[in-house]
Amino acid sequence: MSSASILVGFVVSTVGFSLFLYGKKQKRPPQLLVGMVQMIAPMLALGPLTMTMVGVLSLVGLKVAIARGM
């Protein structure tokens, strides 16, 4: 495990934890789901690029879900 993997994993999971807490407090399912995905992704991803892609794609998906009124 490289230092880049640790750093990227920490950033992605921290953003995910923040989204999870927000979604739980505000009862917002999209934020809750994306938060869980981002907290779990660093444990399953193979490298820092994969973790970054999962983080970015999940945030784009969240933005699309919010734009559609979810």
User: Domain-by-domain residue ranges, the chain?
Assistant: 3-67
pLDDT 10s per residue in the chain (70 long)? 788 889 998 999 999 999 999 999 999 999 999 999 999 988 887 888 989 999 999 999 999 999 998 7
> For residues 16 and 36, what is the distance between their CA atoms, to the nearest angstrom?
6
Model pLDDT, residue 46 = 83
Q: Name the CA radius of gyration of the chain, rounded.
A: 12
Model pLDDT, residue 2 = 84
Output the six-digit token pair for 4. Answer: 């880049």
> For residues 57 and 36, what is the distance between their CA atoms, to the nearest angstrom?
14
Model pLDDT, residue 44 = 87
> For residues 42 and 63, what is the distance between their CA atoms, to the nearest angstrom?
21
Among 43, 66, 69, 65, smallest CA distance to 54 is for 43
Find how far residue 1's CA is from the centre of its chain.
20
